[in-house]
Structure 1
Amino acid sequence: MIENNLIITFTFLVYLAVMLGIGLYAYKLTSSSEDYFLGGRSLGPWPTALSAGASDMSGWLLLGLPGYAFAAGMESMWLAGGLLLGTWLNWLICAKRLRTYSIQVDNALTIPEYLSRRFKDNSKLLQTISAFFILLFFLFYTSSGLVAGGKLFETVFGLDYSTAVIIGTVCVVSYTLFGGFLAVSWTDLVQGLLMAAALVIVPVIALDGSISDLSANLEAKNPELLTLWNNAKGEPLTWISIASLAAWGLGYFGQPHILARFKACRSNKDITTARRIAVSWTALSMAGALLIGFVGIIYVDANLGGSLADGETIFMILVNAVFHPVVAGILLAAILAAIMSTADSQLLVSSSALAEDFYKQLIRKDASSKEIVMVGRLAVIALSLLALMLALNPDSSVLGLVSYAWAGFGAGFGPAILFSLFWRRMNRNGALAGVLVGSITIVVWKQLSGGLFDLYEIVPGFILASIAIVVVSLMSASNDEIENTFDEYEKKLDTMA
């Protein structure tokens, strides 16, 4: 346990007070559902970029990825490389188009609402089913953040795991409840900068030497840690293993909490600047996370007998060992920042699905904007309680929970979003088939194992969803209205601010 807990506790409290202050300030600027769920589409390039990055990476960046690098060595580069490529492609090919199209379809605020209006689904079946899967997968995703929070408070303060998870949940819900999207985005800007600083500072100070020294020490301990083609045991990586790791990059195209940042940017011009910031931040942060895992291998070997019960705590262990409690408190707050920046975004997207896509469409079609915001806030509380129930299992893995939810969104919505932005022939039946096939494939494939079924479920899910979209769209009667509307949207790309 870290010494001088009073100092660290004070640091945490100051940090939480600042985040809550931002939330209360944003509350004064939130008067409509568009403000609450999308910040009035007013984000500049810096908050757009860092909010997307911080809400993307979460506690996984400071716990899951360093833990994986600690266990697997250079094998983790396949995962990091796939994520970096996916980040860049998502910004490059999706961001401007999604922002433009979502505005053109009568200012759609949510992904289900966008798909429904894009394909003129008056039955609202596409919107309802999409919202259902968003809620399902976000329960797992949000719970991963709460698990990370539990590990943080448990390791730092020696709290009982269940108590630690509950405290973390209260921290996240507090400012999300009041400030909505603006609070989430502004706090993400602060948290993203803090996360990047921590990921650079910790390995540089803990390394206390050169990269060549680190490489030599790793080779002396286990030369297999330095190869991309073998695992830590010296066994060759199969194509299934490599494809499963690199395929994480496919997930970006369907993550609602990341896509929401594209829609909230104030102009298409700002998206170009935001892309450069976001990709640079991601590259720097992931490099730091991997280096923390590599440095941790040497530290644990030299100081802890070569074994660590939970590799996902290596960042906290290095901070404890290297830094003064005041600095340690600030750096550990970066973990809380990472957790909060994602969990708040996920809660907000989930609440928008309940309020906009279920409540307004199925229960109160004439609900006022103020009423929708109230329902959204109540949904934040309800969804956080459900995620809390999942997170109370102390054996939960941050990386395991994230991988399932990431695949669900990537396969369930990624192909549908991509085709909706680039293929004029796609129609409502094709979109519905893509969402259903992609999502169901993830759920079913996850239950199977052995041989081909060891492949990360996002790969078959993404492929089968894409096939379903093309086949069902071509089998359905062409819709001239939808195709003509698509052509109109294309013209707006170059003229829209």
Structure 2
Amino acid sequence: MVELSSLDYFLIIIFFTITLSIGLLVSKKSGKNSSEYFLSGRTMPWWLLGISMVATTFSTDTPNLVTDIVRSNGVSGNWVWWAFLITGLLTVFVYAKLWRKSNVNTDIEFYEFRYSGKAASFLRKFRALYLGVIFNVITMSSVTLAAIKIGGIMLGLEPWETVISAGLITVIFSALGGFKGVVYTDFILFFTAMAGAIGAAYYLINIPEVGGIDALMVNENVSSKLNILPDFNDNKAIITLLVIPLAVQWWSSWYPGAEPGGGGYIAQRMLAAKDENHAIGATFFFNIMHYALRPWPWILVALASLVVFPDLSSIQEAFPNISADKLGHDLAYSAMLTKLPSGLLGLVLASLVAAYMSTISTQLNWGSSYIVYDFYKQQVNPNASEKKLVAIGRLSTISLMILSALLALLLQNALQLFDALLMFGAGTGLIFILRWFWWRINAWSEITAMFASGIVTILFKFTYIGDYLFNHDNGIFHDYYEYPISVLITTVIWITATFTTKPENKETMQSFYKKIQPGGPGWKKIVSEAKAEGIDIEDSKKWSVPSGILAILLGCILIYSCMFATGYYIYGKYINSVLLGAIAIISAYLLKNTWKKIKENVL
């Protein structure tokens, strides 16, 4: 537990005051109608939306998760989420413009735009509750769990005290300010969070116990954890940390913030953009900031924690008030923050509050949009007034906050939840990629995949079947085969369902193609049939996906090069850093030219 100085309290109070003031200032305009409340009238510029995306993923549970990964699997363990860069750039260069063209209010509304009949109606209704309530509550509970651990370690707060104090202000400004309030405050929250993370990392690697960056690099607890790539002599590490994430995970799993084909709060921001180019710019800016800029401050603190708190028992000894059910390696991040001096401590606490508020406010507004547009308006009250829709939005915002807070009190660590969420989406991602470019995908494809993925996860994670198949000591398969086998089973099931059920009706598919213009060989049958009927649904623009794939490759090289060049510079390996920097410059030049071709096909 730390003692806060007057300066610390001053910084925190100033931060809260600014945040609440923004919510109050925009509340009147945000409450004007549901479009303003959930999409800010679709007038947002790319840079503001991009910063909002970054701020949203800059959550209290993220540094805890990275710390858990680094302490358990080393720096290379981060490939479990670094691989999602491919997913993010796929959204940037292929799907961002498609989402903005759709002009839907939520990505769930897409279902009745792309599909038809009772199956589409059920899918929209079910996914609204499944994602907007269940998945959303689970995600927010993970963020709140991190806040609980930070409050317990740094301030000696009981879990319920943290939940009430952290959640109350967040839910007030979220309910009042709507999407505009969320995005405007995200701008402040991002810079506050970055300043806190960088300041904490710089100070903590220079405390006497650590001894500076040079001493950190040669410490016996740290030196084996530094590799950016897994040990190629360790088959299990290569398969679990590199092969599965890069070969399977990025395209196969639905995970909040990294949905194949875009979705969730990322889609919400693309839909709020001024136009298609602003949607592309926002998502690209997000991916650069998310992967190239942010990881290293967290990684450095995680590495330093191995010197100060080498194991769980040392954390338990230093913080005996932490209950056994909350003890985990993710606690090491907040444990290190207790060593910060006055002033910087206040800034870092404000930054952690900023990270918490940004993520929770986004999740609340996004989840509430599903409940309002895709459930209440569709199923309960189709004739609801705009004033009524905003009122339901605010009520659902408060309800989601309460549910997530209650669940957070039952959870133990962030990595546990990360793994579970990945498994529950295993095998569904390919549908979200293909549904834009293959006419044969239908509503039953998605319904089957969704239930198959859930059932397979329950069987593997919570029954003896998982132990029998993937037990670490005596299972039939190595435990790292659990995820790819789940993907394979789910994929086989939904492909079978696709070809054994009827395709969507011709009118729906022609209408979808005419508005979106996805192009490609997957729609040739529909375009040909329309032409045979004298209906022209295809424009003359060149298919931009090949250029988009090239841009994805160049973007990955650019961002990974920037990230690893930074890492090698920190490690003192300057030749590697310079070489990677040169590769980044070359790939940026080539990407710029490729982007011009993509923009020509957007305008």
Quick one: distance in 2 between partners of 1:26 and 1:465?
A: 45
Higher relative contact order (CA closer than 8 Å, sequence separation 6+): 1
What is the deviation of 1:191? 1.8
SS at match of 1:266: coil
Distance 1:332 1:38, change over 3 A: same
Q: Which runs of no fewer than 5 residues in structure 1 stay unpaired?
A: none
Quick one: distance in 2 between partners of 1:437 and 1:194?
A: 42
Work out whether residues 445 and 453 of structure 1, in 8 Å CA contact, stay in contact via their aligned partners in 2: no
Distance 1:277 1:211, change over 3 A: farther
TM-score by length of 1: 0.86
Amino acid at match of 1:441: V
Partner of 2:203: 205
What is the deviation of 1:141? 0.9
Partner of 2:496: 471
Work out whether residues 138 and 405 of structure 1, in 8 Å CA contact, stay in contact via their aligned partners in 2: no
Residue-by-residue CA offset, 1:23-76 (whole Å, 9 max, x unaligned): 122212211112112222222112211222222342222222123213332342
Higher helix share: 1
SS at match of 1:11: helix
What is the deviation of 1:469? 4.5
Pairing of 1:80-91 with structure 2 (within 5 A): 80-91=81-92
Quick one: distance in 1 between partners of 2:483 and 2:51?
A: 25
Work out whether residues 66 and 291 of structure 1, in 8 Å CA contact, stay in contact via their aligned partners in 2: no
What is the deviation of 1:166? 2.0
What is the deviation of 1:212? 4.9
Instruction: Please state if 1:421 is matched with 2:436.
Output: yes
Instruction: Please state if 1:125 is matched with 2:122.
Output: yes
Match of 2:506 among 475, 480, 493: 480
Q: Which runs of no fewer than 5 residues in structure 2 stay unpaired?
A: 319-326, 471-476, 518-538, 545-599
Instruction: Please state if 1:404 is matched with 2:420.
Output: yes
Quick one: distance in 2 between partners of 1:143 and 1:99?
A: 30
Q: How many residues in Structure 1 have an aligned counterpart in Structure 2?
A: 484
What is the deviation of 1:178? 0.8
Quick one: distance in 1 between partners of 2:478 and 2:138?
A: 21
Pairing of 1:196-345 with structure 2 (within 5 A): 196-208=194-206, 211-217=213-219, 220-221=220-221, 223-227=223-227, 228-229=229-230, 237=237, 239-240=239-240, 242=242, 249=250, 250=253, 251=255, 252-253=258-259, 256-283=264-291, 284-300=293-309, 310-321=328-339, 323-345=340-362
Quick one: distance in 1 between partners of 2:459 and 2:478?
A: 10
Work out whether residues 141 and 407 of structure 2, in 8 Å CA contact, stay in contact via their aligned partners in 1: yes
SS at match of 1:325: coil
Residue-by-residue CA offset, 1:446-494 (whole Å, 9 max, x unaligned): 3253425844876555555544454333333343223323432115996
What is the deviation of 1:9? 3.2
Quick one: distance in 1 between partners of 2:288 and 2:488?
A: 29
Work out whether residues 83 and 245 of structure 2, in 8 Å CA contact, stay in contact via their aligned partners in 1: yes
Quick one: distance in 2 between partners of 1:373 and 1:174?
A: 14
Larger CA Rg, structure 1 vs 2 = 2
Work out whether residues 96 and 280 of structure 2, in 8 Å CA contact, stay in contact via their aligned partners in 1: no
Distance 1:440 1:235, change over 3 A: closer
Partner of 1:375: 392
Work out whether residues 79 and 241 of structure 2, in 8 Å CA contact, stay in contact via their aligned partners in 1: no
Work out whether residues 80 and 286 of structure 1, in 8 Å CA contact, stay in contact via their aligned partners in 2: no
Amino acid at match of 1:148: A
With 434-443 and 186-195 compared, the bigger mean Cα shift is at: 434-443
Work out whether residues 153 and 159 of structure 1, in 8 Å CA contact, stay in contact via their aligned partners in 2: yes
Match of 2:111 among 111, 115, 118: 115
Partner of 2:173: 175
Work out whether residues 137 and 409 of structure 1, in 8 Å CA contact, stay in contact via their aligned partners in 2: no
Quick one: distance in 2 between partners of 1:418 and 1:96?
A: 14
TM-score by length of 2: 0.72
Partner of 2:11: 11
What is the deviation of 1:371? 0.9
Distance 1:16 1:441, change over 3 A: farther
What is the deviation of 1:90? 3.0
SS at match of 1:253: coil
Quick one: distance in 2 between partners of 1:456 and 1:200?
A: 37
What is the deviation of 1:496? 6.1
Identity of aligned residues (%): 22
Partner of 2:29: 29
What is the deviation of 1:281? 1.1
Distance 1:9 1:176, change over 3 A: same
SS at match of 2:26: helix
Residue-by-residue CA offset, 1:128-147 (whole Å, 9 max, x unaligned): 12113212211211111111
SS at match of 1:311: coil
Quick one: distance in 2 between partners of 1:244 and 1:447?
A: 22
What is the deviation of 1:398? 2.5
What is the deviation of 1:83? 3.3
Residue-by-residue CA offset, 1:278-325 (whole Å, 9 max, x unaligned): 1221121122222221122123359x968775432333333332x432
Distance 1:172 1:271, change over 3 A: same
What is the deviation of 1:347? 1.7
